[in-house]
Structure 1
Amino acid sequence: MDPLLKKVKNLFNYLMSHLFKLCFSSLMVAIAMEASRLSKQDLYNFYLYIQNNLTSLTIFSLSLALVCALYLMARPKPVYLVDFSCYLPPSHLKTSIHKIMHHVRLVRESGRWKLESDYLMDFCEKILERSGLGQETYIPEGLQTVPLQQSLAVSRKETEEVIIGAVDNLFRNTGISPSDVGILVVNSSTFNPTPSLSTILVNKFKLRDNIKSLNLGGMGCSAGVIAIDVAKNLLQVQRNSYALVVSTENITQNLYIGNNKSMLVTNCLFRIGGAAVLLSNRSKDRKRAKYELVHTVRVHTGADDRSYECATQEEDEDGIVGVTLSKDLPMVAARTLKINIATLGPLVLPISEKFHFFVRYLRKKFINPKIKHYIPDFKLAFEHFCIHAGGRALIDEMEKNLHLTPLDVEASRMTLHRFGNTSSSSIWYELAYTEAKGRMKKGDRIWQIALGSGFKCNSSVWVALHNVKPSANNPWEECLHKYPVEIDIDPKE
């Protein structure tokens, strides 16, 4: 875009965004100028008018006060994010692509994983090399042994270490007592033992017996935003309360050891991770909270068969359980994302972008149907983007379709590189990265967006209440100096 045209557009956007303030200021100036011209006789007449209509003015004032009070009581309570914590696995669980492939060969030779051909081995290696994952992601201990350990006990141990570690660090950082938590929402898509994961946390931290506890399962990588939305709704009906939201996924039990290519892909992307988030509706927490929740938008296209079947946990032809990714996945994801954006856009975009969209819509409908739809500039609505680190291709498509810059998607790419796809918790590692880089300023707006099986696309929008500094034990503390790193991209892909 021409620099002069860009400046004109930015000026227009500013004027349109602040139109109400400019008009109100002009009106106040006009009223002040008129008031300065009033004579003593005019002021005396105004005083007499008030005296003669005191009863009417009193009734009007009381009615106005009642309306304002009813409005304040009926409007949604603000929901604040006091703090959050991302789990950092121990260093002995770090693994490289070379180490992963070496271990796969050992497991294959032991007979536990009967890969039919070297072609499938090459396929896995290519996926790993092109995935955007780095050489220091984390694999569970049970999957680094020969033979593999995928029992329920080992799987439970992995998840307990993640969620308890994240929650324990959150309580230390915030200084609140576990007994102050009135709402608990835990989400894990494919690992849901009995007692539930939420019950594990209730038992470990001795949470109170009247806690509102929920355990969300089978909802995919976008379940973290769903959990936030559920907690937000519960905070609207429970006064002066804290809500604890915990997002994770289990890797141990979900490793696929069959020969179906579409099921092998998930093995290459998913890694250990989890996050704990503390929300509050207490007005006194506003001063110390990091963010305020502004919007949540949830889109579910599961009524369509292609959406419903695009990511399915099932048995392969040999009876081995895995997650099948259908060829319709890119199309379904794009369509669901489009619906989410169409819903979110009117809530967050400045008037100028809505105007551009409306004009293009009219031109397309009545003048030239071949004109492309106007893609709003979401950089005018958000300063930071936390796009679910589901894979390099997903981030590439989001960057392209939303016209984002490499800096806009840096947090997502670096999270994928450093921690891999940690499912529903990835958006919190991305927010932690932005904080660690010192980029989060007062008033900045953050868009967290995630896609998941079903098919779902969910968004949450936050605004920073002050210049945000990283909390203690931020997962990027020890490696931040290495990032951002250059990620090789093959132009032929």
Structure 2
Amino acid sequence: MHLKYIKFGCHYLIFIIFLIPVLIEAARIKSETVDILWLQFQFDLMNILTCSLFIVLGSTLYIIISRPQPVYLVSHACYQPPSHLQVPSQHYLELARAIGNLNESSFEFQRKILERSGLGEETYLPQALHCIPSEASMVTAREEAEHVMFGALDSLFCSTNINLQDIGILVVNCSLFNPIPSLSAMIIHKYGLRCNIKSFNLSGMGCSSGLIAVGLAKDLLQVHRNTYAIVVSTENVTQSTYSGDNKSMMIANCLFRVGGAVILLSNKPQDKQRAMYKLAHLVRIHRGLDDKSFTCVYQEQDKTGVLGVSLSKDLTNIAGDALKINITTLGPLVLPVKEQLRFFVTMVVKKLFRKSEIKTYIPNFKLAFDHFCIHAGGRGVIDELEKSLQLLPVHVEASRMTLQRFGNTSSSSIWYELAYIESKGRVCKNDRIWQISFGSGFKCNSAVWVALKNVKKPSTSTKQIPWEA
């Protein structure tokens, strides 16, 4: 028994004697392996840190280069026509008789439209239409375009003192007048702008084309760095006056008047200090797929072959529908969360339970914006938006005053409205301004600007001021 345990113990002793060298060698090999692995880890860690650094630096550089460039509104100016071009209502009716062969019914129709239009007694018509008979022609249409565009541009350049060779982008919009050379070429020729300027001439896009031009300029400023963009918004009354007896085409004669505006945009970082506003959002909606929307503002010949623009009686309703789609897109960008939730809940309930009696909730945009510039297309359009958006009289004051003082100046009306708000000293730092425009097609476009400083009342000594009184 004892021999058995002695023999078993000897076997273990021999095993341990042979195992010790193996363990020692294994420990030596393991030590060397650990050292190699540690060195390898240190080398890999350096590679990882180096690669990570390059990734972070590359990503940062990519974000800096590719992120949207801020677009600043440095200044803007509106054309102030001379006083001798004013056309009181009675004078307009006398001119209307002379422009076309109007019967008594057509004459009375225009008189009623004027009474209900919201236009005052100080709106303007171009020189050619003050003549009896009218002297409307390509020559006089060019003269109107030059007076409006150059008058506003001279005012802008005088107030900003920018080097004209620093202007890299020029966008001009005029819906009904498209001469050759173009309006943008006329400006380049007049002011000697540089030969590689990116110039564009937009036509046929209606009263909303001003914000389309701003959108185009904004996109170009994302590509062309450290430059200025000029946007010129106008319409030509001389060339577009209707001389027939179709009542739907006479409405435009009663509403549209001389006007124009220019806007100076910049993507230069240093211009943030002197700029008035920063462009926050721009939303465009097009309803061209719908037949009624497409034809509600339509240029055509009447039964006698006279060219004119007909306005549908459903125009205000179509504008209201287009606005609803626009604010559905714009709302999430500007509204408080509470207002967004209320709007979303009513939409879901209305669709799930198919209850038509539930009215779509209209968010309180007064919580999102401090000032409203609604296109002064006519009193009906302003009334419709005031009701739809549940605005107060002060919110549509600029639109009504612009319509009364200048009439429908097409795409430039929203800039006369902004100038009106500024002339009252109402724009403070961080205020948000909502511009809403409508146009043929049918389009509803809106832009949101954020004031970068308290905007002082403009000085009459530096530029023409349309709201001096």
TM-score range with shorter-chain normalisation?
0.7 to 0.9
State the AA in 2 paired with 1:98.
Q
Matches within 5 A, 1:377-396: 377-396=364-383
Give the direction of change, closer, same or farther, for the CA distance of 1:368–1:320 in structure 2 (3 Å limit).
closer
| TM-aligned CA deviation for residue 326 of structure 1 | 2.5
Partner of 1:444: 431
TM-score, normalised via structure 2 length:
0.86
Count of aligned positions: 421
- Distance in structure 2 (CA, Å) of the matches to 1:448 and 1:83: 16
Partner of 1:10: none
Partner of 1:172: 158
Partner of 1:145: 131
The answer as to 2:386 corresponding to 1:399 is: yes
Partner of 1:268: 254
Give the direction of change, closer, same or farther, for the CA distance of 1:292–1:364 in structure 2 (3 Å limit).
same
| TM-aligned CA deviation for residue 68 of structure 1 | 3.8
Give the direction of change, closer, same or farther, for the CA distance of 1:406–1:57 in structure 2 (3 Å limit).
farther
Partner of 1:70: 62
What does the per-residue CA deviation read over 1:162-184, in whole Å, with 9 as the maximum and x for residues that have no partner? 00111111111111021110000
What does the per-residue CA deviation read over 1:348-390, in whole Å, with 9 as the maximum and x for residues that have no partner? 1111111111222233234572311111011111101100000
TM-score, normalised via structure 1 length:
0.82
Partner of 1:24: none
Moved over 6 A (4+): 54-62
The answer as to 2:284 corresponding to 1:292 is: no
The answer on whether the counterparts of 1:432 and 1:470 sit within 8 Å (CA) in structure 2 is no
Select 2:204's aligned residue among 218, 222, 228.
Answer: 218
Give the direction of change, closer, same or farther, for the CA distance of 1:316–1:470 in structure 2 (3 Å limit).
same
Partner of 1:115: 102
- Distance in structure 2 (CA, Å) of the matches to 1:136 and 1:225: 26
The answer on whether the counterparts of 2:78 and 2:466 sit within 8 Å (CA) in structure 1 is no
Q: Secondary structure of 1:95's match? A: coil
Matches within 5 A, 1:43-442: 64=56, 66-105=58-97, 107=98, 113-116=100-103, 118-367=104-353, 369=355, 370-442=357-429
Partner of 2:21: none
State the AA in 2 paired with 1:452.
G
- Distance in structure 2 (CA, Å) of the matches to 1:352 and 1:283: 35
The answer on whether the counterparts of 2:123 and 2:257 sit within 8 Å (CA) in structure 1 is yes
State percent identity of aligned pairs. 57
- Distance in structure 1 (CA, Å) of the matches to 2:377 and 2:249: 15
- Distance in structure 2 (CA, Å) of the matches to 1:415 and 1:325: 21
The structure having more radius of gyration, on CA atoms, is 2
State the AA in 1 paired with 2:65.
M
Q: Secondary structure of 2:101's match? A: coil
What does the per-residue CA deviation read over 1:405-435, in whole Å, with 9 as the maximum and x for residues that have no partner? 0000000000000000000000000000000
| TM-aligned CA deviation for residue 58 of structure 1 | 8.6
- Distance in structure 1 (CA, Å) of the matches to 2:296 and 2:369: 30
| TM-aligned CA deviation for residue 94 of structure 1 | 1.1
Partner of 1:469: 456
- Distance in structure 2 (CA, Å) of the matches to 1:91 and 1:382: 35
Give the direction of change, closer, same or farther, for the CA distance of 1:204–1:357 in structure 2 (3 Å limit).
same
- Distance in structure 1 (CA, Å) of the matches to 2:354 and 2:194: 63
The answer on whether the counterparts of 1:436 and 1:474 sit within 8 Å (CA) in structure 2 is no
The answer on whether the counterparts of 1:432 and 1:474 sit within 8 Å (CA) in structure 2 is no
RMSD: 1.8
- Distance in structure 2 (CA, Å) of the matches to 1:310 and 1:420: 20
